[in-house]
Structure formats: C-alpha cells, structure tokens
Structure 1
Amino acid sequence: MSGLAVQLWCVAALLGLALVAVALSRSPRLATAVIYSATLLCCAVAAGSALTWLLLHADAAAESVLPIGLPWLGAHLRLDALAAFFLVVVNLGGTLASLYALGYGRHEHAPQRVLPFYPAFLAGMNMVVLAADAFSYLLSWEFMSLASWALVMAHHRVAANRRAGYVYLLMASFGTLMLLLAFGLLAGTAGHYDFAAIRIAPHAPWIATLVLLLMLLGAGSKAGLVPLHVWLPQAHPAAPSHVSALMSGVMTKVAIYGFIRVVFDLLGTPDWSTSGVVLAFGGVTAAVGILYALMESDLKRLLAYSTIENIGVVFVALGLALAFQANDEKLPAALAFTAALFHVFNHSLFKSLLFFGAGAVLSATGERDMDRLGGLIHRMPVTSVVFLIGAIAISALPPFNGFVSEWLIFQAVLQSPQLPQWGLKILVPAVGALMALAAALAAACFVKAYGVTFLGRPRGAATGSAHEVDRFSLSAMAILAALCLAAGVLPGFVMDALAPIAADILGGRLPAQTPLAWLSFVPITESRGSYNGLLVALFIAVSASLGFVAIRLVSSGAVRRGPAWGCGFTDPAPLAQYSAAGFAQPIRRVFGTLLFRARDRVTMPPPGDVAPARLRIELHDQVWERIYAPLANGIVGAAVRLNRLQLLTIRGYLSLVFATLVTLLLVLAIWP
C-alpha cells in the first residue's frame, strides 16, 4: 500500500472514530478508553508512514484524485517531502496527545463534548496537509477550524470560554476569507484551482505580492502573528490541556504549512521587498509575544503567549529564506528554510510537553494561577523534572533542541551582509536584535513559570493535597522530554531528513551532516560556525558531576538548619515569596508603559486605619483596545443603524431595490 493510501485510510479511520464517539456517548469511561486508544493507533501509523516516506521517498511525490468535491475538479491529494514532514508533526503530536489523554481524559467533566471532535480535529489537520487543490484545502481548513472551535467550547458554561469561542470563530472566518481571496487570485481567469496548474501558471508581480500579503493575513491569523493573535491566548487555555497542546503545538504549524505551500511552492521566486514584510511581522511577533507572556500569572495563558513568540521566530526564518531566494543565494536560503522547519518540529515537541505539564498541574491542584501554586516539586517530582526540561528547551539553552534551531536562525542572520539590497542590510540585523531580545526574555519568562509554580513553599491550600498524575500522562511527557534531548544532541539526523524538502522547494540543500565526525554539524562551513550537541551535553554532564562531587568533598558534612532567607522580612508566611507579578516587575517597568500602559496603583490607609494596604497592577492590551474594540464598536453601531431598514414601507423597499439594480447595471457598463 502506498504512503498516500495509508494516510487516507488513517484519515477515514479518524472520521469513523468521531461517529463511534457519538454512539458511545452514554458510556463515558468506555468511550474515553476506546476513542483515545484508537486515535493513538491511527496517528502512530500515519506518523510512521509519513516518516518512512520522508526518509526513503523524499524525492518522489504521490498524487491521487478522488471523485468528490467540485464536479469538474474532484479532490486532488498529494504526498511529497514537505507534506510528509508536516504529517509527521501533526501525527506525532496526535499520538502523544492521545496517550496523555488516556489518563487526563478520565478527569474530563463533559467527555461527550470532547470525544467526537477530537479525532475529527486531527483528521482535518491531516487533510489540510494532503490537499492539492484550492477547494479541498479550504474545505479541510474550515473543517479543522470548526472542530477545534467545538473543542474550545467544550466547557461552554464558563463565560470566558464562550467569549474565547466567539473571538476564535470570528478570527477563523477572517482567515478563511483571506485564503479564499488568495486562491481566487492564484486561479485567475482560467479558473485553475488544482495546485499543479497553479504551480506552472505565470503570476504577475503585483498578484504575487498581493497573494503573499493575503496568505500572511490568512495563515498568520491561524498561526498567531501579531496583531492577529488576539484569539490565541483566549482559546488555547479554554480547551482541555491535551487539545491545547494540539492547538498550540500542531495546529499553528498547519497554518505555517499553508504559508510555505503557497508562498514558496506555488508562487515561484518572490520579490525581495516582500521578504521584508515577513521579517518585520516575525520580529515584532517574537518580541511582543514573549513580553505578553512575561506579564501573565495564568500558566496556560503564559504558554499560549509564548507560542506567539515562537511563531514569530519561525516567520523570521521564513522571511530570511525569501530574501536569500529572491537573490538566488541557494545555500543561505536552504539554511534559513531548514532552520524554520527545524524550529517547527522543535516547538511542536516542547510546547506539547509544557501544555501537558500545565494540564498535570491543573489536574492535581485545580489551579492555573501561578500565585496560588508553589512547592509542587515535592508533590509532583516527575512532572517537575519534565516541565523543567521543556522550560530549558523553549528557552533555547543547550543541549536541548530549542537551542539548535534558534542557533541556526542566527547563523542565517549572519549571512545577511551578502544581500545586495540596503533595506535588507538594515532590516535583518534589526530583526536579529529583536530575536536576541526575545530569546533573553523567554529565559526570564520560564524561570518565572517554573520557579513560581514548582519551587518555594505552597502559596495556596490546593497544592497541599497535590499528587503525581497517572502513568499515561507521565509517559507522554517523558517521551517528549526524551525527544527534546535527542533532537538537541543529534541534530544532524534531523537536518539531513529536512534537506530534501529544501532541495525540492528552493533548489538548494545543506551539506550532509551525519558523515561528520563526532556527530558534529556544520551548516555552511566550519569558518562560519559549527556545533556539536553531543560534546556540549557531555561537557555539561561532566561539569555538573564534578561540581557536585567537589562540593560534597569540601563541605564539612555537618547539618545546619535555619529559616530561609526572606530578603530582610521576618514574616514566614508563604505569601511573602516572590509572586509572578513581582518577578516580572523590572521588565514591566521597562517595557510596560509603552506596550501595556502599565500602572501600579497603591492604596495606603492613613495611620490608625486597620484596613490592609493594597497594590493593584493595571495592564491594557493595546492591540485589542486600539484595533479590535473600535472595530467591534463600529460594526455594532453600523448594524444598529442598518436595523432601520427593517422598518421601511413597501415604497421604501421598492426604491431600495431599484437603486441597487441601477447601481449594478452601472458597474457592469463601466467594467472594462
């Protein structure tokens, strides 16, 4: 059976599982075990098949046309190297999310609202990647969006979740409209909706530029580019934690796939100026996303905002690839493109791990507010270790995988002086500086997230009864932690697997890395940078071990106990510890005034008043208040005014119809 046939059978099985979940809705425990186990099996088969295709048949492409969809078109499906890679990302995420859900799903309050849509959501993401014509792509995209919206609305009785679902639906509709316009321009007057015809058709420069901008808006709204990100920090925390991991770690990558498929594959060679737009969007998104995350005390919202930062990092790499491709610099273009795909894979791993960890904390304590947690390292030791690994990986610290992909992107930034355009010579270093700022702030953000959540003393009663989660959840998190380490220590194997994609899309590829000695990898030449993850990991392990032994030998061995240092405060209350807001205060004072209109309001009672003093921190979402709130108010105001049309007389209605008819006739008469 061919790889494409295996993928289609897996999609059909996932859709069938959605119907089985409806049939088993009256037996929630049985349905939970059956649906998640079967989904795990389907996704594991699909991931294995896609990985096999990527490693063994990357130079080939399998195509098929199903007799469904538009009558004269059918449903075109295609499996090539790019699609195989993203199918690995989607189905690996689905496999581990299903394993995690076998335990986590037992605590779900309304499983009948989750189980039917969970396999359907995975099927929709697979079909988006396999689609090879505009109609099938848009239909699969909408199916994916609606299934994920239903999962966001699983706990619809919570007012915040209903609002999150409403905002998500609006932004998803906006994104689909942008994609529809983009494919309409690509089809042109000939109406070629299949990707093969679009790929060989000539496109005027202004059409190519407009399509790129529309794809940036359409795919960017689903991925979470600033300022199109407003739905993401609301919808991701509202969904169950294993669904949040899929939405943040996988669905955003499906949006990136759509951008790559259209801009890099279907449009042909871009103009250098369009790369500047992508670079600017990516740089701003990376910096703003991590600043939003630093201001958060809700653990799942913090992780959602950090997704925005990582999406910005990916788009910076894609913008660099566009810039080098426009100037026919094949090797630097392949470097930037490979780095983008590597970071896509890495982010799917460590962000899923972190959301699983947040879900474990939520299951054990019932809390997402970090200021009510603390001390969980003693109650949940395994979760604390794997969450620490995810935090190190997302902070881009060696020897884990996040460091490798971001280091590759910085290597691509360092190739920018050879670009001939002065605009790019200035823009690329500026974006590189934003990325460096975002990387430093990401480390601070996850020091806060881990320290406030797992270290110190319990800040609330909920942590006192916390306990380690089930073995299914721990197994899923342990596998992800191991993959984060493996991809960081052995990155050459991943880069060689990605090389055929760059060769197919850009016409250039990086040199083979696996034949190099000591598992090193050299992106371009040794004089421009090389890295050995295995030696770095061994150096860290040996240094830490020697430090531990030295401390044990030098120390006296006597045990002395005393109260923890409280920075001069003698109050032993747990609330005297650093809070999430207190940790972020220095950064909030530097950046908060500009981005958040941050203000600390202190209420100090007069002498003799026994009322407590209060500190209230005000933060404002400038994007929402300056863009979306006025837009929403304008739409509501226009709707109220247009509501008067319902009260017209018959004479008024006839006049309105006549005026509309005359206007349309004039447009047709004037149209060239």
Structure 2
Amino acid sequence: MLTTLCLLLAALLLLVLPAALGLVRLLRLGGALVMAGLAVLAVLALLAPSAAVMALPLGPPWAAALVALDPLSAWFLLLLGLTGAFAALLINPGPRHEMVCFPLFLFGMALCITAADGFCLLLGFEAMSLASWAILHERRAARLYLMFAIFGGGCLMAAMGLLAAGAGSLGFAALRAAPPEGFVALAVLLLVTLGAGAKAGLAPLHLWLPLAHPAAPAHVSALMSAVMVKVALYVILRMVFDLCGPAQASFWGMPLLLMGAASALLGALRANLENDTKAILACSTIENVGIIAVGLGLALMFRGADMAVPAALALAGALLHVMNHGLFKCLLFLGVGVVLEQAGQRRLDALGGLLHNMPVLGWAMLVGALSAAAVPPLSGFASEWLLLQALLGAWRTGDALFQFAALVALAMVAMAVALGAAAMLRLWGLVFLGRPRSPRVAGAEDVSGPGRAGLLLPAALSLLLGAFPALALGLMQPVLAQWLGPAVAMPGGVLGLSAGDAGARYMVLPAILLLGVLALVLWRGAQWRGGGGATRAPAWDCGFIAPPVHLPFGNAATQPSGEGFAQPISRMLAGPLMAARENVAVPPPGSMASAEYSASSADPTWRALTTLRAARHAVSNRVDRFRALSVRHALGLLFATLVLLLAVLAGLERP
C-alpha cells in the first residue's frame, strides 16, 4: 500500500511535464486519475488500518524521509483525492507557471498529509504554500498571503524544533515516545495554534483568506478552500493530539474553542456583506473552519477530562464536517468558476436568472448551497448537528470556566449557522433567480462534458452523506479508535445519529420521509388553490414603469441588489462589529436621476491594525520632536535625567 502511495506521489510530479507543455486535456485526465487513485487508496487504508512506515531513498542529510498512511492521514487523503479529482476535471488553460504549479500544489498537500516525520510534514506544508502563492493573480493578495505563509511556516518549524529537541529525532515514532512537558509543551501548543491557525484562516489570522481565495483560478480556489485549510487543521491534529501525547490538560482546547467561535461568527457575518461571489464563499470557509476548530477544541477538553463519549462526539463531528465542507465548498467554487467563464461576472449585482439557461449548474449549486446552509437532510446538517450536541454537553466538564467558554461558543456558533444560511440564500437567489442583468448573462450556456461530472459527483456525494452519515462514520471508526481507544462508541447508526445513550437523536431516514410528505402536501395544495391552470403575467418591478425598448432584459435597478439584500443584517449586527456604514444619495427635487445607495464595512482585525499603525506614527512623531531639540535643550534634558537617576539610587540605598 505504501509502495502504491509513493508511485502516485511520483505520478503527481510527472504531471508537471504535460502542464509545462500546455497539454490541458492530458493534465485533466492524468490529474483526475491520480487523485481518484489516492482516494481509493485512502478508503483501503481506512478499511484495513496499518501502522507501517516506509523510508524513502530521499530525505535530509541526517536521515531518510518517512511516509505512512495511518487512519488520520487516510481520512484527509480521501478528502484530497475526491476534491482533487473533481477540480482536475474543470481545469481551464492558463499561464504556464499556473499550470505547472497545480500538480505541485497537489503534491505538497499529499506529502504533508502522508508524512511520518517532521521533515516531510514541513516540506509538504511549505511546498503547498509556495505553489498556491505562485498561482495567485492579484499582487496585493499574493503579498499578504506570502506574509502569513512565512509566519505560519516559521511557527511550525519552531514547534517541530522544540519537539525534536526532547526526542532527538524528527520521526513521529520517536516524538510520540518523548512528548513535551511543562513550559515546552505550552510553547509547542502556542506555536502550532498560531502557525497552523494562520494557514487555516482562524481569526484573527484570517486576513489573507478573503483576498487570496478569490485571486486564484476556480479549480485552485476550490482546493484551497476545500483541502488546503484542512491540511492546516490536520497539522494541529497531528502535532497537538498525536505528538504531544494523550496526557494533556483540558485547557489545551481553550485556544481552538475561542478562536474557532470567533472565526465562525466573523466569517458568517462577512459572507453576508460581500458582493463578490468568490469572496462570499471564502468568508464562508472562515465560518466553517471555525466550526471545525470548535469541535477540535472540545475534543481536547473532553479528552483531558477523561470523557471518552463526548470527546468522540466532538471529534466525529469535526472530522465529518471536514469531509462535508470539503465536498460542498469544492462544488460551490467550481460552480462559481463556470459562472465566471460563461457570464463574465463575479458580482452579485451583475448576475441573475442563470437557472433558466444553466439548469444543471443551478440545481447542483443549490445542493451545495443547502448543504452549506445546514438544511436537513443534506450533509452539512449532520456534521453541524453533532458539533452542536457536543457543545450542549460541555457542561459535564465540571469546571465553571470551561462551561462558560462553551456557553459563549455555543451562542456564537448558533448565530454563525443562521448567518451562514442567510449568506447561501443570498448567493444562490441573486445569481440564479430573477432576470438576467446583461446580454452575456442571458446567453450563458450550461456546463457539459467532464465539467458536468465534476459538478454532479460532489453534489451526489453531499446528498449521499446527508442521507447516510453512517457511511462516513463507519470509515471514520479507525480514526476515533486511534485517539480515543478501540472501545469508544460511534455517535450514529444506520437510521441516524445520536449524542450518547441518553442524548438527543437525529433520525435521518424518518426526517427525509417526513419532509417528502410535507413537500407533496404543499405541492398538491398549491395545485388545488391555483385552479389547475398556468397563468402568465409580467414580472413585478417594485412599482417601476415597464422598461423601455433599449432595456430588453429589464431595468437592473428594479431587482434586489446584493447590498440591499444584506441591509437588515448589516443594520442589526454589522454596525458595532464590522463598522458597517450606509449612504443614500437622494437627487434634488425635480431631478430624473435615481437615488444611489452604497454600503461599506471593515474587518475588525484590519481596524485594529490601523489603530496600531496610527499609534506607532504618533509615537514616531513624538520621537522626531526630541530629534529636533537644540543642543542647549538636549543637554538640559540629559542633566535632568541624570539628577533623577541619582535621586532614585539615593532612595534605594536609604535604610
């Protein structure tokens, strides 16, 4: 199995050749086949877990590089293989460096996930970061992303150095045998949280993500959001859960719990305020990564308190959401890429009515949007239900501080879930419903060929995992046994999910049946009330007069805009947190011009950095005043300082 893994990794490197030659079809086919092979290999590794380690003939001067495929690696490799295959099917021709960096990006993520020593883990992590940085189109986004990548890589290198100093080796087996203790362990926790948190986009280290993900091509954005940020979470799992040993205190989960809750709320709120479709999905990624981090923090807290059942519930919910979010977010980013290719627009206010000309894309993206909105019985609801049940059970820890932190996190995550649903409704409704706002949008064509398979397959998997989450939980069993022991019970069965023996239950199949009956009743009721005939009437234009002849698609001003759709949320929630502002320019009486509405907001982290920069400039200006002193004033200041120091020394010497 490890030999097959090495052959597939080598095949990823060989894909650089067709990418450099511009053979896009060969790159699509080869990339999809190699990534599908990695997914099959990951399933086999989960069905037959193994702790074998393979030494490569390559590596640093002091030792050979090591790779392995334990259950945790296999779970994340399965996500990479599936989403990588879907993204490869929608590769579009681009600059040569962009095409070459794509297989290197895949190779870096695969190497980091399957590493069995610190050298391979850091090498894959940095290769992933540099390859994705080279693909970004916008200079500002690339510069900011590189800064955070350097910061994250430096923190992880320092953490790995502290781990290796106590073990005398970079191999994971040696690191497990000598876990850190005391202040060294706390330093490792801090460095890993900062380094991997910066790559995952956890607040307040998330500033690069809303800029970098939209700046990449659609197939790369899909992998950055679906897999790359999850690789950072994998690093947290590997270095904190695994290499630091199981005997850690419960407070180790507090940083992930608080950072995750803040990320979830901030990302969901920003997703409701953005008007760029890819920026909306990027901010939604911040929300979902925050929710996963909350689950990981809860698992650490419960494991530190020797509570295996709640720890299994939290860890299962986090890992299940890793898979679910990867699938539906890959689908949404690939769909937005098709929209950009066909309609030439990414802004909500420039799109509309695409469901009429692009039904396959529209219905596939509806599945992804409903999954992201955590609507039952789709996949996003199952994993978020497990995580919310774990949060509700945090009162069992017995520590008032942890209970209060979990209560705050529960309120923030619940609000984030509601805001995330509103953001997905806004995205899909304004893009696919209504009327086209331009001739090119009206002439957009639906996806076909391999691209259609790249959209329908993740949509089908989202439906499958939503209806049968037990399939994913069954594959996940070796991962939970690896961290919590083989006797831990799975939080689910054939019919649904459960939060322990005496906890709540989510019966998936009965819920599907009930929703189907309600939908049938509503449909038949609408037919009965409608009188049995189709009635056609002009579209409602909010009281505006009929559009003139030169506007065959109607007046765009009569349709809801992205800013107008977000206005209630902006007024209620975004004022104090996001500094949201509105401006309505009303024309003078007698003017035929229309009123203009504009809205603005600012991320609180950006505002904090701006405040610090202003304070630094103020201090610098005061220092410059001292530089402008004359010789007489400078000597007087020096003499006064000397007298003050002598007085202080005299006071200290007095008995």
Same fold, TM-score > 0.5, yes or no: yes
Q: Deviation at 1:631?
A: 6.0
Equivalent-residue separation in structure 1 for 2:614 and 2:177 (angstroms) = 41
Alignment correspondent of 1:651: none
Q: Deviation at 1:274?
A: 2.3
Contact 1:493 1:513 in 2 (8 A): no
1:251 aligned onto 2:228: yes
Deviations 1:485-507 (A, max 9, x none): 10011111211211211111122
Equivalent-residue separation in structure 2 for 1:628 and 1:399 (angstroms) = 44
Equivalent-residue separation in structure 1 for 2:616 and 2:476 (angstroms) = 47
- Matched to 2:36, the amino acid is A
Deviations 1:407-441 (A, max 9, x none): 00111112212112110111112101111101111
Alignment correspondent of 2:202: 225
Equivalent-residue separation in structure 2 for 1:529 and 1:340 (angstroms) = 18
Look up the SS of the partner of 1:627 in the other structure. helix
Equivalent-residue separation in structure 2 for 1:54 and 1:276 (angstroms) = 30
Equivalent-residue separation in structure 2 for 1:628 and 1:502 (angstroms) = 44
1:406 aligned onto 2:396: no
Alignment correspondent of 1:436: 414
Q: 1:77 to 1:601 in 2, by over 3 A?
A: same
- Matched to 1:494, the amino acid is A
1:167 aligned onto 2:167: no
Alignment correspondent of 2:476: 498
Q: Deviation at 1:568?
A: 4.6
Equivalent-residue separation in structure 1 for 2:350 and 2:336 (angstroms) = 14
Equivalent-residue separation in structure 2 for 1:226 and 1:587 (angstroms) = 21
- Which residue, 144, 155, 170 being the options, matches 1:178? 155
1:67 aligned onto 2:57: yes
Equivalent-residue separation in structure 2 for 1:192 and 1:333 (angstroms) = 30
1:238 aligned onto 2:236: no
> Comparing 133-142 with 534-543, which one deviates more in the overlay?
534-543
Equivalent-residue separation in structure 1 for 2:527 and 2:149 (angstroms) = 58
- Matched to 2:204, the amino acid is P
- Matched to 2:381, the amino acid is F
Q: Structure 2 matches for 1:586-605, cutoff 5 A?
A: 586-605=568-587
- Which residue, 253, 263, 267 being the options, matches 2:244? 267
Contact 2:355 2:362 in 1 (8 A): yes
- Matched to 1:181, the amino acid is A
Q: Deviation at 1:546?
A: 3.2
- Which residue, 41, 63, 80 being the options, matches 2:33? 41
Q: 1:149 to 1:202 in 2, by over 3 A?
A: closer
1:343 aligned onto 2:321: yes
The CA RMSD over aligned residues, in Å, is 2.1
Alignment correspondent of 2:531: 556
Look up the SS of the partner of 1:494 in the other structure. helix
- Matched to 1:37, the amino acid is L
Contact 1:330 1:508 in 2 (8 A): no
1:625 aligned onto 2:602: no
Equivalent-residue separation in structure 2 for 1:584 and 1:21 (angstroms) = 42
> Comparing 485-494 with 460-469, which one deviates more in the overlay?
460-469
1:85 aligned onto 2:85: no
Q: Deviation at 1:551?
A: 2.6
- Which residue, 109, 113, 120 being the options, matches 1:129? 113
Alignment correspondent of 2:96: 112
Q: Deviation at 1:508?
A: 5.6
Contact 2:28 2:90 in 1 (8 A): no
Alignment correspondent of 2:12: 14
- Matched to 2:51, the amino acid is A
Q: 1:221 to 1:202 in 2, by over 3 A?
A: closer
Look up the SS of the partner of 1:470 in the other structure. coil
Q: Deviation at 1:633?
A: 11
- Matched to 1:245, the amino acid is A
Q: 1:217 to 1:632 in 2, by over 3 A?
A: farther
> Comparing 379-388 with 604-613, which one deviates more in the overlay?
604-613
- Matched to 1:86, the amino acid is F
Alignment correspondent of 2:280: 302
Equivalent-residue separation in structure 2 for 1:395 and 1:64 (angstroms) = 42
1:148 aligned onto 2:109: no
Alignment correspondent of 2:343: 365
Look up the SS of the partner of 1:237 in the other structure. coil
Q: Structure 2 matches for 1:491-640, cutoff 5 A?
A: 491-507=469-485, 510-511=488-489, 516=493, 519-525=495-501, 527-570=502-545, 573-609=555-591, 612-627=594-609, 630=612
Look up the SS of the partner of 2:194 in the other structure. helix
Equivalent-residue separation in structure 2 for 1:325 and 1:279 (angstroms) = 14
Look up the SS of the partner of 2:54 in the other structure. strand
Alignment correspondent of 1:658: none
Q: Deviation at 1:185?
A: 1.3
Alignment correspondent of 2:369: 391
How many pairs are equivalent?
612
Q: Deviation at 1:603?
A: 2.4
Q: 1:545 to 1:608 in 2, by over 3 A?
A: closer
Equivalent-residue separation in structure 2 for 1:626 and 1:603 (angstroms) = 30
Look up the SS of the partner of 1:557 in the other structure. coil
Equivalent-residue separation in structure 2 for 1:488 and 1:381 (angstroms) = 22
1:381 aligned onto 2:359: yes
Equivalent-residue separation in structure 1 for 2:350 and 2:456 (angstroms) = 26
Look up the SS of the partner of 2:597 in the other structure. strand
Structure 1 segments unaligned to the other structure (5+ residues): 154-160, 642-672
Q: Deviation at 1:190?
A: 5.4
Contact 2:312 2:490 in 1 (8 A): no
- Matched to 2:40, the amino acid is G
Look up the SS of the partner of 2:437 in the other structure. coil
Equivalent-residue separation in structure 2 for 1:632 and 1:146 (angstroms) = 32
- Matched to 1:237, the amino acid is P
